[in-house]
Amino acid sequence: MTKEEFIAELAEEMEIETTVTAETNFQELDEWDSMGMMVLIGFVSEKFEVSLNAEDIAKLTTFESLIDKIGVDKFS
Amino acid sequence: MGCKISAIEYCFPETKVTNQDLKKEFPDYDFLNFEKKVGIYARYIVKNNETGFNLARAASLKLFERGVDKNQIDYILYCTQSPEYLLPTTACILQDELGLRKGIGALDFNLGCSGYTYGLSMGKALIESKQAKNVLLVTTETYSKFIHPGDRTNRSIFGDAATATLIVESEEDNIGNFVFGTDGSGYDKLIVKNGASKHKYDKNCLVKEYGTDNKYTDNHLYMNGPEVFNFTSSVIPNFTKEILAKNFIDKESISQFIFHQANAFMLNFMRKRLKITEEKFYINLKDGGNTVSNTIPIALKQYSQNINKSEDIILVGFGVGLSWSGGLIKISNAL
């Protein structure tokens, strides 16, 4: 999966209505609530077998920061 | 000689709180999306002067109304985290209130979402070891009393309820093997900190925020949603496979998987991990929400209404503790 595909699929899972890029900050999104976080944790766990805890979630800024957390080497 | 579940009754409190009701208090929140994802439309909560005991009494009386002979009951297992008092044991009060015989056993056990499956395994153990013949297993919970009024997330998710299950000695061996798991390192992921022995109730407690604008104090229920989700999604799918193995049965032979009804999104997540079809996996928490130890017996009763031949059912409870347990049962008629 490329970074772009990942961002697009995650945005769809989270049902984000605005256009998002690697630079989009989660805090700016209306969809970034406890449910959005749950969807994100589920998606990342399913695709990459990476478990994000509450602290990881609190530290997230942009989609790029999430990609860094998962590990850039996991993307093609 | 084995044992089986012969009847289940449940009851909700009268006061119904719908998503529209909550929307009036939290106008900025998208409750339509909540309903779609989490699967809850309404929950029921007790009034101030009502307790879990009142609900437990009502659920037990329903059993007697349908013909269960109360004089046959020789053991009460009472699962709650909302006891009447710190002491005495609420099960003792229930014995008297229901007019049960004095020559019976009665105990409370403090477990949340894993409580019902624990109760079934204890009931089975009491019957198979010839210490009892008719066990009344009660679950009752009123988390609404612990939740801060400004805690939108927990108010949306949790509801109050009680259930009463009769486990009886029988020719059939319908309660199979149960498996357990415990991880106390996660004790503070779902907790009411104040009010018991370690920390007194503090009337000047600081109001804190967590998650997305949810308010709580240490006197109230706190849930670390992401951690609970991670625990569940990482532990429960493999644990379910363990239950199957312990009962020497394969996934395909199971008619229905009934997990603790925590939240529809999380349940579907686990269902997909386990590669179970939607038809074989029970999800129904629209009316009632997450009622802690009550969700499994409520779901089991609802599901059993269409049973007309013997079915193998897997039950799995998981949550506060952290604690999890599950096992195999056979049901052949409506409970």
What is the model's pLDDT at position A49?
87
What is the model's pLDDT at position A6?
94
pLDDT at B40 over 90: yes
- The one-letter code for the residue type at B218 is D
What is the model's pLDDT at position B213?
80
pLDDT at B177 over 90: yes
Determine whether B230 is an active site residue. Answer: no
Determine whether B333 is an active site residue. Answer: no
pLDDT at B53 over 90: yes
Mutation site, A35, A37, A41, A66, interface B, largest B CB count within 10 A: A35
What is the model's pLDDT at position A31?
83
**Which chain A residues are Cβ-neighbours of B211 within 8 angstroms?**
33-34, 37
> How many Å lie between the alpha carbon of B238 and the closest alpha carbon of chain A?
14
What is the model's pLDDT at position A22?
93
pLDDT confidence bin for B182, thresholds 50/70/90: very high
Average the pLDDT over B49-61 and give the result.
Answer: 98
**Higher pLDDT, residue B252 or B225:** B252
- Is the CB of residue B105 less than 8 Å from the CB of residue B74? yes
Average the pLDDT over B132-150 and give the result.
Answer: 97
Average the pLDDT over B138-153 and give the result.
Answer: 97
Mutation site, A13, A27, A34, interface B, largest B CB count within 10 A: A34
Cα–Cα distance measured from residue B269 to residue A42, given in angstroms and rounded to the nearest whole number: 7
Choice among B113, B247, B263, B294 that is catalytic: B113
Mean pLDDT by 10 residues, chain A (76 residues): 92 89 91 86 89 88 94 90
- Full 3-state SS string of chain B: CEEEEEEEEEECCCEEEEHHHHHHHCCCCCHHHHHHHHCCCEEEECCCCCCHHHHHHHHHHHHHHCCCCHHHCCEEEEECCCCCCCCCCHHHHHHHHHCCCCCCEEEEECCCCCHHHHHHHHHHHHHHCCCCCEEEEEEEECHHHCCCCCCHHHHHHECCEEEEEEEEEECCCCEEEEEEEECHHHHHHEEECCCCCCCCCCCCCCCEEECCCEEECCCCEEECHHHHHHHHHHHHHHHHHHHHHHCCCCHHHCCEEEECCCCHHHHHHHHHHCCCCHHHECCCCCECCECHHHHHHHHHHHHHCCCCCCEEEEEEEEECCCEEEEEEEEECCCC
What is the model's pLDDT at position B332?
95
Query: Percent of chain B at pLDDT above 90?
Result: 93
What is the model's pLDDT at position B156?
96
pLDDT digits (tens, 9 = 90+) for B296-322: 999 999 999 999 999 999 999 999 999
- Cβ burial of A18 (10 Å; 0-12, 13-18, 19+) is exposed
pLDDT digits (tens, 9 = 90+) for B101-123: 999 999 999 999 999 999 999 99
Domains, chain B, ordered by start: 2-172 (3.40.47.10), 177-189+221-331 (3.40.47.10)
pLDDT at B262 over 90: yes
| CATH architecture assignment, domain A3-74 | Orthogonal Bundle (1.10)
pLDDT digits (tens, 9 = 90+) for B186-220: 999 999 999 999 999 999 999 998 877 889 999 99
Cα–Cα distance measured from residue A47 to residue B275, given in angstroms and rounded to the nearest whole number: 15
What is the model's pLDDT at position A58?
87
pLDDT at B162 over 80: yes
Average the pLDDT over B73-93 and give the result.
Answer: 97
- Is the CB of residue B176 less than 8 Å from the CB of residue B53? no
Residue in B217, B210, B179, B212 with CA at minimum distance from that of residue B318: B179
**Which chain B residues are Cβ-neighbours of A38 within 8 angstroms?**
37, 225-226, 229, 263, 265-266
Query: What global pTM score does this model have?
Result: 0.93
